[in-house]
């Protein structure tokens, strides 16, 4: 396990045989106390991959904190005690979904199955088959987060943190899709940069609904009630599955919703049952305008106690929404070889060396502070 884990974190250690004096003090503690210290340390450690968008035209490469796993190489005994536990407690952070797929598709599934915490962008990926380009066809398929995670069936996460990307309407449907069919996680933390996500006019997919389409199953509904009904339908009424929404108490304060002291529970209600057919015809002023619009949202989704969170590995796959059906049962590396990959903004093709940009000198990168959230400057509202 230790040797394979190095594939994910190049920081993995070459240990010293002789403990330093501080290590000697640590090793004098009972093993139970040492394990608590190890847990606290690794639970506040993030390993970061990829470039973060600053606006539509510029990115900055993020890197893990210096010596993020340096503790493992302090001495032989500490390395022995922690080499199998660190991967279950650190958080792996991926700035783009294609970076996540690039990295984890190259790692043994036995290692991927040990990862418990992932943070990622909720950006979709747009694909076009190479054969379609040859025949002059312009058909492109957009795959949301739930579809992309189907390419990593070994995932068995305790927490998946997703940052809503694109417009608030896009973020809403990315989250809705994860709740209704996402797998590979026990608990989902979905973070929205503003309150717009729950206050926009009723939409279906990426298009405005007409009054004749108000009963579309994709329309925006009162939350978290609708999402909780969906997760209970998946996992069972007695499963204790749940959905909770929290709203920041601080306008224009990135990351504030992640802290219990600066957030409060949020719930949308209907004045009367008869309002449901026309719900969300109009915007909610408190959520889309004024200071309240800039308050972040955190949606916490918990799967049921006995829920099977594993992604289905074998066909038949959903012919409409499963990326493996679209790709002919191909893995991500095969998809990249046979398809053209597009980002979702401005239709620009990803450069051929985009996945290698994270290997540039560390002096050009910025440390990824565990407590800091930086949202892109320019995001469609």
Collapse the DSSP code of 352 into the 3-class scheme (helix H, G, I; strand E, B; otherwise coil) and give the result: coil
Within 10 angstroms of residue 9's Cβ, the number of other Cβ atoms is 18
Residue 248: exposed, middle, or buried by beta-carbon count in 10 A (0-12, 13-18, 19+)? buried
Q: Please report the DSSP string for 135-162 in residue order.
A: TT----EEE-HHHHGGG-TT--EEEEEE
CA 62, 66, 68, 72 torsion: positive or negative?
A: positive
Instruction: Give the confidence band of 221 by pLDDT, cuts at 50, 70, 90.
Output: confident
With a cut of 80, say whether residue 293 has pLDDT above it: yes
Question: Of the spans 16-30, 71-85, 231-245, 353-367, which averages the highest pLDDT?
Answer: 231-245
Give me the pLDDT at residue 353, please: 35
Could you tell me the end-to-end alpha-carbon distance of the chain, in angstroms, rounded to an integer?
Answer: 45
Cα gap 340→141, rounded to integer Å: 11
Cα gap 122→175, rounded to integer Å: 9
> 190 is written with which tokens?
């979905």
With a cut of 90, say whether residue 361 has pLDDT above it: no
Q: Which sequence spans correspond to the domains of the chain? A: 1-90, 157-309
With a cut of 50, say whether residue 108 has pLDDT above it: yes
> Which pTM does this prediction carry?
0.83
Cα gap 300→117, rounded to integer Å: 14
What percentage of the chain carries pLDDT values higher than 90?
54
Strand-pairing partners, residue 339, are 129
> What pLDDT digit, counting tens, does each position of 199-212 carry?
987 654 444 444 44
User: 152 to each of 145, 244, 263, 281, 343, how far by Cα in Å?
Assistant: 11, 27, 33, 38, 20
Give me the pLDDT at residue 280, please: 74
Residue 118: exposed, middle, or buried by beta-carbon count in 10 A (0-12, 13-18, 19+)? buried
Give me the pLDDT at residue 25, please: 86
- Contacts of residue 156, defined as CB under 8 A and 6 or more positions apart, other chains included, come to 113, 116, 184, 309, 310
Give me the pLDDT at residue 60, please: 59
Q: Which residue has the higher pLDDT, 139 or 164?
A: 164
As a whole number, mean pLDDT of residues 7-12 equals: 48
Element (H, E) at 297: strand 297-302
As a whole number, mean pLDDT of residues 268-297 equals: 83
Cα gap 262→247, rounded to integer Å: 9
- Contacts of residue 380, defined as CB under 8 A and 6 or more positions apart, other chains included, come to 166, 167
Angle, helix 168-181 to helix 225-235, in steps of 10 degrees: 20
Cα gap 159→91, rounded to integer Å: 9
With a cut of 50, say whether residue 350 has pLDDT above it: no
Instruction: Give the confidence band of 63 by pLDDT, cuts at 50, 70, 90.
Output: low
Question: For 354, phi and psi rounded to 5 degrees?
Answer: -65, -35
Element (H, E) at 60: strand 59-63
Question: Of the spans 22-26, 169-173, 369-373, which averages the highest pLDDT?
Answer: 169-173
> CB–CB of 288/195 below 8 Å?
yes
Question: For 174, phi and psi rounded to 5 degrees?
Answer: -65, -45
As a whole number, mean pLDDT of residues 167-177 equals: 92
> 57 is written with which tokens?
């035209």
Average model confidence (pLDDT) across the chain: 81
Q: Is 172 left (phi over 0), alpha (psi -120 to 50) or beta?
A: alpha
Give me the pLDDT at residue 323, please: 93
* Nearest of 117, 90, 111, 104 to residue 152 by alpha carbon: 104
> CB–CB of 293/195 below 8 Å?
yes
Residue 203: exposed, middle, or buried by beta-carbon count in 10 A (0-12, 13-18, 19+)? buried
As a whole number, mean pLDDT of residues 41-58 equals: 76
Q: Which residue has the higher pLDDT, 312 or 372?
A: 312
> 68 is written with which tokens?
């993020």
Instruction: DSSP letter for 315, please.
Output: S
Question: Of the spans 222-226, 245-249, 345-349, which averages the highest pLDDT?
Answer: 245-249
As a whole number, mean pLDDT of residues 359-363 equals: 46
> What pLDDT digit, counting tens, does each position of 246-281 carry?
999 999 999 999 999 999 999 998 766 666 666 777
Instruction: DSSP letter for 218, please.
Output: T
Cα gap 330→324, rounded to integer Å: 6
Least confident of 42-46, 243-247, 363-367: 363-367
User: 183 to each of 106, 155, 188, how far by Cα in Å?
Assistant: 20, 8, 10
């Amino acid at each position: 396990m230790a040797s394979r884990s190095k594939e994910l974190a190049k920081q993995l250690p070459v240990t010293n045989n002789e403990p330093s004096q501080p290590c000697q003090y640590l090793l004098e503690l009972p093993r139970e106390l040492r394990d608590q210290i190890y847990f606290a340390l690794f639970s506040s450690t993030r390993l970061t991959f990829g470039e973060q968008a600053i606006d539509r035209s510029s990115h900055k490469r993020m890197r893990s904190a210096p010596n993020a796993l340096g503790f493992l190489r302090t001495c032989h005994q500490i390395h022995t005690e922690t080499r199998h536990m660190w991967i279950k407690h650190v958080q792996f952070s991926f700035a783009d979904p294609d970076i996540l797929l690039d990295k984890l598709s190259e790692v043994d599934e036995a290692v991927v199955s040990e990862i418990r915490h992932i943070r990622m962008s909720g950006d979709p990926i747009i694909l076009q088959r190479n054969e379609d380009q040859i025949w002059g066809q312009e058909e492109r398929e957009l795959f949301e987060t739930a579809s992309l995670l189907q390419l990593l069936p070994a995932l068995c996460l305790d927490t998946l943190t997703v940052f809503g990307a694109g417009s608030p309407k896009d973020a809403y449907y990315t989250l809705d899709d994860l709740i209704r069919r996402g797998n590979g996680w026990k608990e989902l933390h979905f973070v929205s940069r503003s309150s717009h996500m729950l206050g926009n006019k009723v939409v279906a997919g990426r298009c405005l609904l007409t009054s004749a389409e108000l009963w579309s199953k994709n329309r925006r509904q009162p939350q978290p009630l609708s999402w909780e009904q969906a997760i209970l339908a998946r996992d069972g009424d007695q499963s204790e599955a749940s959905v909770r929404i929290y709203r920041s108490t601080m306008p224009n304060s990135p990351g504030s919703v992640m802290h219990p002291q600066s957030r409060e529970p949020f719930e949308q209600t209907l004045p009367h049952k008869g309002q449901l057919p026309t719900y969300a015809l109009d915007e909610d002023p408190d959520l889309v305008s004024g200071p309240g619009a800039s308050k972040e949202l955190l949606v916490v989704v918990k799967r049921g106690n006995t829920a099977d969170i594993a992604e289905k590995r074998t066909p038949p796959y959903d012919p409409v929404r499963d990326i493996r059906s679209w790709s002919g049962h191909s893995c991500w590396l095969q998809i990249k070889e046979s398809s053209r990959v597009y980002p979702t903004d401005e239709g620009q093709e990803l450069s051929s060396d985009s996945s290698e940009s994270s290997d540039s000198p560390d002096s050009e990168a910025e440390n990824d502070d565990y407590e800091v959230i930086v949202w892109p400057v320019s995001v469609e509202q």
